[in-house]
A and B are shown apart, each in its own frame.
Chain A
Amino acid sequence: MLKEEKYQKLKEIIKIYLPEDVAVTDIKQDSHLMNNLNINSANLVDIVLDVEDAFDIRLENEDMDQMQTVNDAMVIIDAKLSEK
């Protein structure tokens, strides 16, 4: 899977959790999910589940803790995919 393809896939997942005052175009590689994109902390667990389904991987608790920015998520997804 190409990097750009993965990024688009992740953006599609994140999109639905954005509050009304944040646009899809606000999603950047270095965006912090909670601080920049204002995603409700309760929804982070839903994003993790969606990522698991979309990439057919399993994220552990420590992965979740490390997933602060969009880029963090990309790194974790890459690592999990390479383990497969």
Chain B
Amino acid sequence: MHRRVVITGLGVCAPNGVGLTDFTTALLEGKSGLRHQPNLEKLGFGCQVAGEPLVKDNLIDNYFTPLERRGLNATGIVYGVIAGVDAWKDAGLEKNTTDEPSWDRGIIFGTGILGVDKFREAIHLIDEGNVRRLGSTSVIQTMASGISAYLGGLLGCGNQVTTNSAACTTGTEGILMAYDRISQGKAEIMLTGSCSDSGPYVWGGFDAMRILPRGYNDNPTKASRPMSASAAGFIPGSGAGALVLESLESARKRGAYIYAEMLGGEINSGGQLGEGSMTAPNSVAVQRCIRNAVTNAGIEASDIDVINGHLTATTKDGLEIENWSKALERAYDDFPYINSFKGSVGHCLAAAGSIESVATVLQFKEQVVFKNVNCDDIHPEISKLISESCIPRETKNHSPKVIAKASFGFGDVNACVIFKSFSKE
């Protein structure tokens, strides 16, 4: 069984915009969501710049009951619920108010680590010999699947409700898992996405690895520089993105707005062999992932006119461009447009793949290729491979036909998805 799958809903809670309207405006203008974080300065972080969604207190009231808000100390759940519920509404779907679970609707919502602040709270109480004071919310806010569990309850889904985790590939992997489920006829509608907590306990480990730029604490919006010769490392971010995937049949029956068709893709790993390691990608696997995604999607490499890369603003950006170029056998002027949103949202870790996929899909609706920021000085390794005109520094009017989006993560894991513009045939 192989059914067509489309995207009918989007939701986002990102450092540069909470909700689709603000997020879209920010992307069109290249507005940065990266800010100096006073708490990181106080704690003596080398990199004190990060991306954190600005969620107003009264906005949270729209998504959580007063009881749910009591002791709520897991930013990932807040971001994920906002993005997930928004995507559901954007798709024209309602919460299930019957007594019967919606058997053909499910959730795959990933995360890297959930509720770290809540866990810290618990650790302090436990170490003080006060385990009895934890209350009932410690487990549900710190279990990895807390986010899919919250959403599953809010929406009343009765199909698979789970959480995937594959480091920075998480969000993109989830989209492919949801695609498979619908394509195989096991579900009609899947809410998929991912979230990542904010704060020093999530970002600290990366600061300790000395892979974050330290020279931009006074100039936060310039700190994240994908594809730039002056790229000095990635800026950590946080937030959530969500997409509603649906069988074409179901979307048509409901008369839903269709953002794009999802053609599938590929997930693989480099086995941490060759040049691959826990933290570095094996190019053989990256190229294979992209090539197989093209084949699985039933398209030709030449059909792709836009790429949204992983492109984190480290020294590996050049290698990523080389991998795209080799995998697609396209270079210089023949290379598709390529962008990275990490210049303005930072690297949202487990949420990166979903936030960036929401942005990628918005390009079909807006009929643009969103601009790249902070790369006026394109890295010479990159301009050796592709024409600088492939890297829009201003938002470009262009109706994308086929967009490839990839994410790569620690553990040498890769995911590449192919989205296609949808026309009512």
Contact B66 A43 (CB under 8 A): no
Contact A49 B135 (CB under 8 A): yes
A43 to B136, CA, bound (A): 6
Q: Hey, which chain A residues are within 8 Å of B133, CB to CB?
A: 49
Q: Tally A residues with Cβ within 8 Å of B.
A: 7
A54 vs chain B, min Cβ distance (A)? 14
B67 located at the interface, meaning its Cβ lies under 8 Å from any Cβ of chain A in the complex: yes
Q: Which of B33-86 contact A (CB under 8 A)?
A: 66-67, 70-71
Q: Give me 16 A-to-B residue pairs in the complex whose CB atoms sit less than 8 angstroms apart, sorted by A's number.
A: A16-B66, A16-B67, A16-B70, A17-B67, A42-B136, A43-B67, A43-B136, A45-B135, A45-B136, A46-B70, A46-B71, A46-B135, A46-B136, A46-B137, A49-B133, A49-B135
A16 to B70, CA, bound (A): 9
A42 to B137, CA, bound (A): 9
B68 vs chain A, min Cβ distance (A)? 10
Contact with B along A40-54 (1 / 0, CB 8 A): 001101100100000
- Identify the interface centre among B66, B67, B133: most chain A CB within 10 Å of its CB: B67
A43 to B67, CA, bound (A): 10
A45 to B138, CA, bound (A): 12
Q: Tally B residues with Cβ within 8 Å of A.
A: 8
Q: Name A's B-contacting residues (CB within 8 A).
A: 16-17, 42-43, 45-46, 49
Q: Hey, which chain B residues are within 8 Å of A16, CB to CB?
A: 66-67, 70
Q: Hey, which chain B residues are within 8 Å of A45, CB to CB?
A: 135-136
B132 vs chain A, min Cβ distance (A)? 8
Closest to B66 in A: A16
Q: Hey, which chain B residues are within 8 Å of A17, CB to CB?
A: 67
A16 to B136, CA, bound (A): 14
Known: A16-B66, A46-B135. 14 other contacts (CB 8 A): A16-B67, A16-B70, A17-B67, A42-B136, A43-B67, A43-B136, A45-B135, A45-B136, A46-B70, A46-B71, A46-B136, A46-B137, A49-B133, A49-B135
A57 vs chain B, min Cβ distance (A)? 14
Closest to A45 in B: B136
Closest to A61 in B: B132
Q: Which of B274-308 contact A (CB under 8 A)?
A: none
A30 vs chain B, min Cβ distance (A)? 24
A42 to B71, CA, bound (A): 14
Q: Hey, which chain A residues are within 8 Å of B70, CB to CB?
A: 16, 46
B187 vs chain A, min Cβ distance (A)? 28
Q: Hey, which chain B residues are within 8 Å of A43, CB to CB?
A: 67, 136
B133 vs chain A, min Cβ distance (A)? 6
Q: Hey, which chain B residues are within 8 Å of A42, CB to CB?
A: 136
A32 to B133, CA, bound (A): 24
Q: Which of B110-148 contact A (CB under 8 A)?
A: 133, 135-137
